[in-house]
Amino acid sequence: MATEGGDRRPKYQRIADTIREAIQAGEYGPGDRLPGENELMAAHGVARMTARQALGVLQNEGIAESRKGAGVFVRAFRPLRRRGIERLSREQWGAGRSIWSADTEDRTLVVDQVGVTEEPAPERIAHVLGIGSGNAVCVRRRRFVLDGKPVLLAASYLPAALVAGSAITELDTGPGGLYARLGELGLAPVRFREEVRSRMPSRDETSRLGLSPGTPVMLICRTAFTIDGRSVEVNEMTLDSAAYVLEYGFDA
């Protein structure tokens, strides 16, 4: 690989490093167009493939993203702020509002896909719900879209025997949503646990969330517990990491 002086980095890596430093120094701001292949070829005296590789490095790091026909741009991070604790407070769903409305501040998060099915519980879900693996669960799957871009996949699992005949098994759960209905069944959640991790997306997640290269997903597994410590719902969420900041506040 071509090097300059004592510098062992391949040329495309050095060009990528130069552009990255310029971004970090604020020479290119969020949404700005980066120099294209032709400009990089002229400025650094390299072949097109080298220029393309340099821009590819920045895209794989998630710092830049390509827009078809328009070039490569500095990625903006203008996330939704998801408040884990306030959004789930009983005041909200008790008053008939959806727990999701607090997600968005003044931006509009919309469900564009929804489905309700009854399925045998996957082992990991059965384990958390304390039911036998393969026992029936009611599964509510939704996709949420912000400004036309899918940002969140959610799959909520509840023991089918608990919720049979309630609006939980229907597409529209009614005012106050799922938790209000659980309350009417004497199963009001009083405590929640959220477990958060991150990994690279599967091909299916990439396609369903429309993810750019270099974009991990965050996974939230939320479990809802009743007053007697029974887990009544597990919600597996898959979030576009470029669209979300999660916020948790708590006392010392």
Name the minimum Å distance from CB 198 to its own copies: 4
**Helix or strand (DSSP H, E) at 239:** strand 231-240
Task: Looking at residues 95 to 124 of the shown chain, list those that interact with its own copies (rule: CB under 8 A).
Answer: none
Q: How far is the CB of 115 from its own copies (least distance, A)?
A: 22
Q: Which of residues 171-230 bind its own copies (CB under 8 A)?
A: 179, 188-203, 214-218
Q: Which stretch binds its own copies (CB under 8 A): 41-49, 80-88, 112-120, 157-165?
A: 80-88
Residue 247 binds its own copies (CB under 8 A): yes
| SS3 label, residue 196 | strand
d(CA 74, CA 25): 13
Are 97 and 110 contacting, i.e. CB atoms less than 8 angstroms apart? no
Residue 50 or 223: the one with the smaller Cβ distance to its own copies is: 223
Cα 117 to Cα 24: distance, rounded to the nearest angstrom: 47
Interface with its own copies, residue 73, by CB under 8 A: no
CB of 50 to its own copies, least distance (A): 18
Minimum distance between the CB of residue 30 and its own copies, rounded to whole angstroms? 14
Question: Alpha-carbon dihedral of residues 206, 211, 212, 217, nearest 10 degrees?
Answer: -90
Distance set, CA 227 to CA 84, 161, 193, 231 (Å): 20, 19, 14, 10
Q: Which residues would be at the binding site for its own copies (CB under 8 A)? A: 17, 20, 60-62, 79, 84-85, 88-90, 179, 188-203, 214-218, 241-242, 244-252
